[in-house]
Structure 1
Amino acid sequence: MKIKLLPKFIISLGIVGLILTIATSLFSYATSKSYLGKMYAKRVMTNCNVIAAMIDVEDVKTIISDGGNQTPEYQKMCKLFNQLKKDGDVTSLSLVVPDEDSVCFYIDALVEEMGDDPANQIPYGSDILYVDAANPDDPADMEKYITIWQRYAKNKGLDKPIVTDNDYGYNYTWVSVILDESGNAIAEIQYILDMSEARAYLISLLTNMLLISFAIIGLTIVAYIFFVRKMVTKPIGKLTDFTQEITETNNFENQRIEIKTGDEIESLSDSFNFMLEEIQNYISNLSKITAEKERIGAELDVAKHIQESMLPCIFPPFPERHEFDIFASMTPAKEVGGDFYDFFLVDEDHLAMVMADVSGKGVPAAMFMMISKTLIKSATQSGLSPAAVLEKVNNQLCENNDAEMFVTVWLGILEISTGKMICANAGHEYPVIMRKDGEFELYKDKHGFVLAAMEDIRYKEYELEMNAGDRLFVYTDGVPETINLSNTLYGTDRMVAALNRAKTGSCSQLLEAVHQDVKFFAGEAEQFDDITMLCLEIKNTLPDLKEIKIEPSLDKMPEVTEFFDRILSEAEVPAKTVLQINVVVDEILSNIIYYSGATSVKAGCASINDQVILQFTDNGRPYDPREKADPDISLPLEERENGGLGIFMVKKIMDEISYEYKDGQNILTLFKR
């Protein structure tokens, strides 16, 4: 709920007035109390000491001796005490002799005209215990009696009045000793003065001060409120109404307000008029600014989509390839980013992977990124090695690099059939590798200089052996250099730990797990760099094959052909392809039977992802049919060399052939799409 300015003034002034009133009254009360306290303390001390001085010591000895109340001295002393009590308006005036635990009263002055009740007079010789005289609810009261006795034992009276404020009343008490010729105390005068009237006076003073202060400050506040209303709230209210009217009508043209107060409020109205002129100018230009901003936004959106379209974004990218799984992602810090990744098949047996980070952010970095990506892909597809690619692209980027931008690059080319990967690193982050059934670990490879910084830089290559179940993770510095609100780096240790927590997932799940971990770590902190990641997993090179094992003899060939026909028929392989595969099977088995010297043969077959895979394993002599030169079929039949036509036919029928000799076995694998 909003409260207007004038009520706020009234409330605040009222609070200030209340504080001033209470403070002034309490100060007056405290000052008066201190003054009266000192005045009455001096009075009881002076009067008590005078009385003690004017009393004859011999008379005191007579009075406190046995039968002293029957002597003329007693009568004379009682009369004197009564007169002194009356003249001094004393509450209690007594001649007493204290000891360790009690006090003995010899004279207790009584003046009935002052309201004293004879029934309350303490008789001569009354010995009253301190525990009976003290207030049982006030432990400090007992201490006062003990103090008087301790002073008396030292032949001294009090050096300051004792203040009693309890159920027995509010009193000032003074004690003066009567000394004999040897200076020993023989009795003392007990002088008590009632302070209730003084207290009543102080309370009356406090009440009057409160009332007077309230009245004075209240009138001052009322006068000040009228002044504030005229000089402050009314002009401000006028300005508020004017502002609300403009806001509701949304009309700023030629609107002005005139306030003449000769102070800051008038200056505020002048500033407001100036602001209206500026708003009017701003509104006239706003449509142009908005249109320009929308145009820039649209162009940035187009640039973002162009950049995204340049990166591989359809997954799985090679659905017909079962040898590996690959996934990548990029999250730019701005509309467009400087990071990029790429992967592509150089040929059927070589997969190239690129991870790169351009210096800078925004549109310039994005343009440099597109140039770099195009040059790297073009050089790689030309058949160059990773080091040669980086050397060539570095020199190309150095040409006319007036912006002095640079790019870090990690490039790897995987030979799919063998798992051998040749890599080169131009100032990029270390890759992370996980071996089968192992943990992710940083692989601290050889770093070269960044691209586009200096011409004719030489780069070194290194080789990785990637087997089934192994994984490779590459990334840009946006991952480890993410910071949170505490300005703490995410770091490679957290990244590797996140990878290991999600190592059982697929490549896409792995990247998502790292991204979520980075996001959780950063919290509300703004992303300041692009986050780009790529993960490669090497799969088993072949799916599970259905196999048949036979002795290498011609009468077993129909059994193998029938076995293959059944598998291909169940997989609904086209009849034409089945006939071609039967020719291949006959040719391969014939070669093994006639020429290899094998004693056992194992034939396997599978159909997956629109591809037929054949594999023949025998323990014969090593023989790679791919090394057999193709016959020149352009020559007449009589001029050709014998043999080789069957293997040539196999090569023509099948799309891909691989061979290895391992553990004393020939392993020939053929693929047909």
Structure 2
Amino acid sequence: MKNKLRLRPRLVLGLIIMSTVLVLTLTALGGAIYRRKMEVVYSREAFDTASIAAQLIDGDRIAEYRKTLKKDAYYESVHQTLQMIRQSTGVKYLYVVIPEDVQFYIWDTGEEGDEGVCDLGDTDEYYGNGYEIMHAAFSPDAEQTMLVTNGDLYGYLASAYVAILDSRGQPAALASVDISMDIINHEIQRFYLIFLMVSLGIVLVSSLFYYSYIRRILIRPIHILNEDTRKLVSDQMEALGAFRNRVHTGDELQWLGESFEHMTRELEVYIQNLAAVTAEKERIGAELNVATRIQADMLPRIFPPFPSRKEIDLYASMNPAKEVGGDFYDFFLVDEDHLALVMADVSGKGVPAALFMVIAKTLIKNRTQMGGTPGEILYDVNNQLCEGNEEDLFVTVWLSILELSTGRGIAANAGHEHPVVRHKDGNYELVLYKHSPAVAAMEGIRFREHEYVLDPGDRLFVYTDGVPEANNSREELYGTDRMTDALNTLQDPSPQELLEYMKKDIDSFTGDAPQFDDVTMLALYYNGPAT
């Protein structure tokens, strides 16, 4: 198993990321609010300073200074007063201009000789959108609008303009105040530093308390559950009954631990039951293997069965759908000239059918060896099987006694499949005739007999319903038509080759579909009387 990042480091990492995002977000938001507040404060201060300057200046004198460009005592007095205002308020520039096509200076409070200081009559170009803002401010009821500029000569400035009115109430000039934005930026940076440190401190302390709380209610209980479950795995689940819940948080984690404790106890019981069931299945499996061998041993399996009898070639096979099946075949000599052939199918499958099959096979063979026709034999066997048949089992039987010297035979069909006969130089064809009821279906039944003749070179094929009723994954049946086609495929096979080909063709048809029923077949070739 790969080593993955554990829960505690992941929680700590998540807490650090969350705290960092929170601090940065709060700092950015607080800085934006503080900047706006500082801008409002400095804007109000700038407009207040400009308003003070505008009120102390006599607007009627400005037109004269504009016209004559001559300074007098009043001019110098105002200049000194404006310088005092600039120095006391800390604004960067305080000046009076007339907004024309250019700015026409009346007063400028800068020290004489300083760069950018203008004297009476000097002009200067507008910066940014200063033309529009200054001309808009040049009215008695103008709105207060700040102009922000950033130039190489004057630097980063915010400017406020207030109209100076003459005695008629008409604007004569603009009292102008420039505040350095560097002051605001410095205040913002100072605010960021202080706010960041305070926020970090608060978040750090809060995070420590929160982590301690999470560790107590989440990490430690999960760690306990993890240790206990890993110990169970390392002990290969041998101590399931000893598992006890050690989590007592009073919440879902405790419920999880209690549920896991209950699950381990149930799992222990399940494993014990499973072990018992597995042992029982193994015992039953072993017994079924023995039963399979016993059943197989009950059917004739030595081929050729009668090496000294040249009148016939014979081969038979049985493939059960389960470990033991209900189909059976049999063949034996009743006497030196008569051969008994049996093909039967017991209702049901598995052990009950196999047990009934043993009884039926034994009764049929014993009764046949006592003599009589197939109908008489099945009559007696039927009555015996009906006695004590509480499970209502029955067996379909095709029983024939063939006279080897002549090829004449008598058959009784008790509800079984139609036999298939191939006459010499012909094809396999179904022999259709009316059947009697199955054996053990009802006591006292008389079974109809059917006579037939096999000529030298004729062949007989009998089977159970597992052949035509074999089905594939599409629920299609193998059927008697496909069966006879397969029988006629090979040119001149031996009985064994014929049955092996038939089984292969059935398996090819059914494919991956499970075998539904026992597949039992018998092939007999009649060669004629021995010479």
Q: Identify the TM-score tier after normalising by the shorter chain.
A: 0.5 to 0.7
Q: Distance in 1 between matches of 2:507 and 2:377?
A: 35
1:280 aligns with 2:268: yes
Matches within 5 A, 1:115-134: none
Deviation string, structure 1 residues 156-214 (Cα, Å, up to 9, x no partner): xxxxxxxxxxxxxxxxxxxxxxxxxxxxxxxxxxxxxxxxxxxxxxxxxxxxxxxxxxx
* 2:331 is the alignment partner of 1:343: yes
* Residue pairs, 1:100-249, within 5 angstroms: 239-249=225-235
- Cα deviation for residue 285 of structure 1 reads 5.1
- Alpha-carbon spacing, 1:455–1:235, altered in 2? closer, same or farther (3 Å): same
Change (3 A) 1:427 1:282: same
**8 Å contact kept, 2:343–2:397:** yes
Q: Given the alignment, which residue of 283, 287, 311 partners 1:323?
A: 311
- Structure-2 separation of matches of 1:523 and 1:413: 37
CA distance in structure 1 between the partners assigned to 2:414 and 2:301 by the alignment: 25
Could you tell me how far apart the structure 2 residues matched to 1:510 and 1:232 are?
74
Does residue 510 of the first structure (1) align with residue 498 of the second (2)? yes
Pair 1:317–1:255, CA change in 2 (3 A) = same
CA distance in 2, matches of 1:443, 1:231: 84
Change (3 A) 1:483 1:239: farther
Q: Higher mean Cα deviation, 521-530 or 232-241?
A: 232-241
Amino acid at match of 1:406: F
**Of 360, 379, 383, which residue of structure 2 is paired with 1:391?**
379
Secondary structure of the residue that 1:501 maps to in structure 2? coil
Q: State whether structure 2 residue 359 is matched by structure 1 residue 371.
A: yes
CA displacement at 1:537 relative to structure 2: 0.9
Structure 2 residue identity aligned to 1:453? A
C-alpha change, 1:487 and 1:271, in structure 2 (3 Å) is farther
Tell me, what secondary structure is at the counterpart of 2:406?
coil
Question: Cα 1:282–1:393, aligned 2, differ >3 Å: closer, same or farther?
Answer: same
Q: In the alignment, which of 473, 492, 510 is matched to residue 522 of structure 1?
A: 510
Q: Structure 1 residue 504: deviation in Å?
A: 2.2
Within-5 A mapping of 1:550-565: none
d(CA) in 1 for partners of 2:215, 2:491 = 74
SS state of the match for residue 527, structure 1? coil
2:454 alignment partner AA: M
> Aligned partners of 1:490 and 1:232: how far apart in 2?
65
Question: Does residue 395 of structure 2 align to residue 407 of structure 1?
Answer: yes
- 1:418 is matched with 406
CA spacing shift, 1:231–1:356, aligned 2, 3 Å: farther
Distance 1:3 1:334, change over 3 A: farther
CA contact (8 A) 1:446 1:462 kept: no
Provide the rounded CA distance (Å) in 2 between the counterparts of 1:233 and 1:410: 77
Secondary structure of the structure 1 residue equivalent to 2:242: coil
Residues 4/435 of structure 1: CA separation in 2 closer, same or farther (3 Å cut): farther
State yes or no: 1:459 paired with 2:451. no
Deviations 1:505-535 (A, max 9, x none): 1111111111111112222221121111111
Alignment of 1:351-362 (within 5 A): 351-362=339-350
- Deviation by residue 1:209-237 (Cα, 9 ceiling, x = unmatched): xxxxxxxxxx9xx9xxx999998787666
What's the offset of the Cα at 1:380? 1.1
Against the structure 1 CA distance between its residues 344 and 264, is the aligned structure 2 distance closer, same or farther, given a 3 Å change threshold? farther
1:288-332 Cα offsets, whole Å, 9 max, x none, are 444433332222222212111111011111111111111111111
Amino acid at match of 1:356: A
Report the CA distance shift for 1:5/1:315 in structure 2 as closer, same or farther (over 3 A): farther
Question: Does the aligned pair in 2 maintain the 1:391–1:457 contact within 8 Å?
Answer: yes
CA contact (8 A) 1:5 1:233 kept: no
For the residue of structure 2 that corresponds to 1:535, the secondary structure is: strand
Alignment gaps of 5+ in structure 1:
15-113, 115-218, 543-668
Distance in 2, matches of 1:380 and 1:502, equals: 34
Deviation at 1:6, TM superposition (A): 7.8
Residues 1:489 and 2:498 are matched in the alignment: no
CA contact (8 A) 2:404 2:528 kept: no
Equivalent-residue separation in structure 1 for 2:510 and 2:350 (angstroms)? 21
Residue 240 of structure 1 deviates from its aligned partner by 4.6
CA distance in 2, matches of 1:407, 1:228: 75
Separation in 1 of the partners of 2:219 and 2:505?
A: 56
Give the whole-Å Cα distance in 1 for the aligned partners of 2:525 and 2:290.
33
Q: Which of 288, 291, 294 is the matching residue for 1:303?
A: 291
Alpha-carbon distance, 1:280 to partner: 2.9
SS of 2:365's partner is: helix
Distance 1:256 1:388, change over 3 A: same
**Cα distance change of structure 1 residues 450 and 275 upon mapping to structure 2, 3 Å threshold:** same
Distance 2:422 2:220 in 1: 77
Give the stretch that moved more between structures: 267-276 or 300-309.
267-276
Residue equivalent to 1:471: 459
1:204 corresponds in structure 2 to none
Counterparts of 1:250-265 in structure 2, within 5 Å, are 250=236, 251-252=238-239, 253-260=241-248, 264-265=252-253
SS state of the match for residue 464, structure 1?
strand
Per-residue CA shift, 1:113-163, capped at 9, x if unaligned?
x9xxxxxxxxxxxxxxxxxxxxxxxxxxxxxxxxxxxxxxxxxxxxxxxxx
Per the normalisation by structure 1, the TM-score is 0.46
Q: Is 1:358–1:406's contact at 8 Å kept on the other side of the alignment?
A: yes
Conserved 8 A contact 2:224-2:246 = no
* 8 Å Cα contact 1:6/1:229 also seen in 2: no
Which one has more relative contact order, counting CA pairs under 8 Å at least 6 apart?
2
SS in structure 1 opposite 2:351? helix
Alpha-carbon distance change, 267 to 3 in structure 1, aligned in 2, over 3 angstroms: farther
Distance 1:241 1:530 in 2: 54
- Structure 1 residue 4 displacement after superposition: 6.1
Say whether the 8 Å CA contact 2:383–2:440 is kept in structure 1.
yes
Change over 3 Å in CA distance of 1:485–1:237 after alignment to 2: farther
Q: Distance in 2 between matches of 1:503 and 1:435?
A: 14
Quote the offset at 1:264 in angstroms: 4.8
Q: Which residue is 2:99 aligned to?
A: none
Would the aligned equivalents of 1:440 and 1:499 in 2 still touch at CA under 8 Å?
Answer: yes
Q: Structure 1: how far apart are the matches of 2:285 and 2:6?
A: 48
What amino acid is the match of 2:482? R
Cα deviation, residue 255, structure 1? 1.9
Distance 2:310 2:320 in 1: 31
The alignment partner of 2:503 has SS state of helix
Q: What does residue 258 of structure 2 align with? A: 270
**Equivalent pairs: percent with the same residue?**
56
Kindly state the Cα deviation for residue 283 of structure 1 after the two structures are TM-superposed. 4.5
Q: Structure 1: how far apart are the matches of 2:424 and 2:311?
A: 15
Task: Quickly say closer, same or farther: Cα 1:4–1:353, change in 2 above 3 A.
Answer: farther
Residues 331 and 340 in structure 2, CA contact (< 8 A), matched pair in contact too = yes
Q: TM-score with structure 2 length normalisation?
A: 0.57
Which residue identity does 2:235 align to in structure 1? T
Once residues 222 and 494 of structure 2 are traced to their aligned partners in structure 1, the CA distance between those partners, rounded to angstroms, is 68
Cα 1:391–1:265 change in 2 (3 A) is farther
Q: How large is the RMSD of aligned CA atoms in angstroms?
A: 3.5
Distance, in Å, in 1 between the alignment partners of 2:248 and 2:473 is 51
Q: CA deviation at 1:399?
A: 1.1
